[in-house]
Structure 1
């Protein structure tokens, strides 16, 4: 199975659920999407289907697992095989207290042999390729030597793709939010890793906000993973297919994205416990930077949780977007949608 990781969207807890991924796929046809991290315990002892289900239209889509026990990770991969994910990724980068207490995530950067054993077990059990997402280091580890040692050890166990968040994780003294912002970005260490280990696929992650930055990084590494910017300003993805995948297909306008979300929302609302806010919280940033964006966000946020709220709320919010873009195409689509 070949996965194109040139551009991917980071796994983000509480953000990249199946509703968000369906929405993002309407904007980009090719970017690789990741699930939120799912722990092995949630799959082995919990409702696996709730965590693993997704819409077929989300492909290519990768599952990120959290765990440090090789047997448990192998069992989780075996369970996930029935869902045909395009990749299984092991989280070695999350610094949250909950993850540390479970002895996985970023703390695994100090245990490359454990990670290697996990990768061997996962690869033997998984139908999909197995990858690792890690930091450049943790706490007082020396910078590049520790990173290179970690990657070489895990690569010798069979992992050929590493997604590297170009910040250290400080396991003591910084919150998860601070760990995404305070430690300095050191892209040069990730570039050096690719230079020294050219046989590996190296994807860079951390603080990347524009497609121009993305193109700059691609001169040094094999792929770029975009994180929070893709969630807060999702329409940044609209030019990815043309620019990085040579796909000349005209991207959906923002209005077309909203229209194509409506049947999906209706289907979700028809499910037991389906609520409008489950989906609409992910689309609030669609008009980021345009006049009317604030009204769009406010109307949905104030009304999505009303009893029996439906797609009429989304249509009403759309009517409050006074200037969708400077393009004639978007203005025409807007007028047609509002007349419908």
Structure 2
């Protein structure tokens, strides 16, 4: 079997889009790839149970254009994680990531996500089994702490324990997770960011590849973090303002693409997915942020959400209406620049 080397060949630094439930679907990932060929894309978290006992094809399928792409797994059974890792490699994924950061009640009840930070030996066992099952990289995404286990020393112990397996790539969300009393949304906003803990981890463990995540929204912030760590993972800003991914192309001296050219490339994909039976609303929700921070942003969103069911009922009418939305937005932007 040919092992995909796309991630190993991706030029430094490592810039990625975080795994986000209900957001980083294969449709969003196809769209995101149009902005930047080097950004690493992550799936939504997929549990081992969903793959082993559910519709594996639905959870694992992706578009070839998405490479380099990482499958994020949720689970705590080493054997199940190893089996799913082997399936992911055979499916063509470039890398596998274990979720040790999600704080939701649902994943806690299944011993998935951030609660695993309290069990570094179990995480190390999981990673060891996953690494033994595949030839592609296996990484860990985790928090700087949970609940009362929030000291730097406790995080370092977690990382050191897992690193003994040979895992050398850690993506660190620079907030603790409070597993009781806060919603997942609040856990992304309420605990204060402690970027200095992630910087210190890189300083004290220079042999490890350390990426930082949490609250990063601009090119300037990304550049600043890259002075201290090896990579930056962008979360919700990459969804609400996907053009940030194009701006980040400057890190590799890439030309910044035009928004309208990106949409022209997206139209055949929308046609294909609608022909497969995907509702237009499922597709257009991912492109609403294309003109974020520009005067035409509201016009664009209104145009995409203003059609009735009849006007968007078939592929041909849908594409016509999207093109009309593009034209109205372009005209409005031109008027504003005069």
Q: Considering the TM-score relative to the shorter chain, is it more than 0.5? A: yes
Which secondary structure state, in structure 2, belongs to the residue aligned with residue 78 of structure 1? helix
Given the superposition, is the C-alpha separation of residues 180 and 142 from structure 1 closer, same or farther in structure 2, using an over 3 Å criterion? closer
Q: Does 1:101 align with 2:109?
A: yes
Alpha-carbon displacement from aligned partner over 1:5-27 (angstroms, at most 9, x marks no partner): 62111111111111111101101
Tell me which of 17, 23, 43 is aligned to 1:9. 17
Tell me which of 9, 29, 53 is aligned to 1:21. 29
Given the superposition, is the C-alpha separation of residues 269 and 15 from structure 1 closer, same or farther in structure 2, using an over 3 Å criterion? same
Given the superposition, is the C-alpha separation of residues 71 and 304 from structure 1 closer, same or farther in structure 2, using an over 3 Å criterion? farther
* Structure 1 residue aligned with 2:288: 284
**Residues in 2 aligned to 1:127 and 1:289: alpha-carbon distance in whole angstroms:** 42
Tell me which of 59, 71, 75 is aligned to 1:51. 59
Alpha-carbon displacement from aligned partner over 1:43-78 (angstroms, at most 9, x marks no partner): 111111111111111111111000000011011112
Q: Does 1:124 align with 2:132?
A: yes
Per the normalisation by structure 1, the TM-score is 0.91
Alpha-carbon displacement from aligned partner over 1:90-113 (angstroms, at most 9, x marks no partner): 000000111111101000110100
Q: Does 1:268 align with 2:276?
A: no
Q: Runs of 5+ in structure 2 lacking a partner?
A: none
**Residues in 1 aligned to 2:24 and 2:333: alpha-carbon distance in whole angstroms:** 25
The answer to whether the 8 Å contact 2:75/2:111 transfers is yes
The answer to whether the 8 Å contact 2:144/2:150 transfers is no
Q: Runs of 5+ in structure 1 lacking a partner?
A: 332-340
**Residues in 2 aligned to 1:284 and 1:235: alpha-carbon distance in whole angstroms:** 11
Tell me which of 288, 303, 313 is aligned to 1:307. 313
**Residues in 2 aligned to 1:24 and 1:142: alpha-carbon distance in whole angstroms:** 34
**Residues in 2 aligned to 1:326 and 1:132: alpha-carbon distance in whole angstroms:** 48
**Residues in 1 aligned to 2:318 and 2:336: alpha-carbon distance in whole angstroms:** 29
Given the superposition, is the C-alpha separation of residues 84 and 108 from structure 1 closer, same or farther in structure 2, using an over 3 Å criterion? same
Which secondary structure state, in structure 2, belongs to the residue aligned with residue 310 of structure 1? helix
Indicate the RMSD between aligned Cα atoms, in angstroms.
1.9
Per mean C-alpha deviation after superposition, the further-off stretch among 293-302 and 20-29 is 293-302
* Structure 1 residue aligned with 2:197: 189
The answer to whether the 8 Å contact 2:150/2:176 transfers is no
The answer to whether the 8 Å contact 1:3/1:60 transfers is no
**Residues in 2 aligned to 1:193 and 1:132: alpha-carbon distance in whole angstroms:** 14
**Residues in 1 aligned to 2:332 and 2:135: alpha-carbon distance in whole angstroms:** 47
**Residues in 2 aligned to 1:151 and 1:228: alpha-carbon distance in whole angstroms:** 25
* Structure 2 residue aligned with 1:112: 120
Aligned residues: 325
Tell me which of 222, 226, 233 is aligned to 1:214. 222
1:239 shift after superposition: 2.3
* Structure 2 residue aligned with 1:254: 259
Alpha-carbon displacement from aligned partner over 1:82-137 (angstroms, at most 9, x marks no partner): 22111100000000111111101000110100100000111111231000000000
Per the normalisation by structure 2, the TM-score is 0.92
1:218 shift after superposition: 0.5
The answer to whether the 8 Å contact 2:117/2:145 transfers is yes
